[in-house]
Amino acid sequence: MSLTLAPMDNWLWYLSRSTGIVAAVLAVAALVWGLFFSARNTGTRMKPNWWLALHNWLGGLTLVFIGIHMLVAFANTRTGLRFVDLFVPSNTVGWAIGWGVVSFWMFVIVVLPSMAKIRRRLPRRAWHVVHLLAIPATVLTVVHSYQAGSDSISGSTNFMRFLAILMGVAVYPVSIRLIGIAQRRRALA
């Protein structure tokens, strides 16, 4: 059985949607800032440290908003979510929510080991590989928003445009980063 989400005219419904949308925008912003920083494509107006500090803030806030979004979705009894559904995907709620749960765990794995105290103890390469989970996590966020969002269920073109723009904004810095890696490899060869 999969979860059917009936739009309801109450503040919890608005709050779960708005916190979800803010979390998704923050995730894409953190992704863009991280990629520009790592690609050393930050221009000359702002110092690289500024980009990194803002990236860290955006990353931390992403997880905070995801947490609020999950709690509000749980508090909204119309969603029928049990507490365990926030952490374990299951047939009871279906994959529309399941993708949200998977991306939540991926964001936890991206953000927690990045905290200075933990990161200092990890080999840089291992931390970096784990950190790159941010990219599939963001993709799954969009899949979840597309499948679970009331606006996409009701066929809103504006919401589709919003999701397409979010993805589009992320693709550009991913390309810049990949081109940078390819150029560096060629120069080394």
Q: Give the binding site for ligand HEM (CB under 6 A).
A: 5, 13, 16-17, 20-21, 23-24, 27, 30-31, 34-35, 37-38, 52, 55-56, 59-60, 62, 66, 69-70, 73, 79, 81, 86, 97, 100-101, 103-104, 107, 110-111, 114, 131, 134, 138, 141, 144-145, 148-151, 159, 177
Buried b (16+ CB within 10 A) or exposed e, 49-82: eebeeebbebbebbbebbbbbbebbbebeebebe
Instruction: Please report how close the Cβ of residue 187 comes to ligand HEM at its closest, in angstroms.
Output: 18
Instruction: Please report how close the Cβ of residue 189 comes to ligand HEM at its closest, in angstroms.
Output: 20
DSSP 169: H
DSSP-derived secondary structure for 64-96: HHHHHHHHHHHH-GGG---GGGGTS--TTT-HH
Instruction: Please report how close the Cβ of residue 139 comes to ligand HEM at its closest, in angstroms.
Output: 11
The two three-digit tokens of residue 104, written as one number: 């939540």
In the complex with ligand HEM, which residue's Cβ is closer, 70 or 95? 70
Q: 3-class DSSP state for residue 57?
A: helix
Instruction: Please report how close the Cβ of residue 12 comes to ligand HEM at its closest, in angstroms.
Output: 9
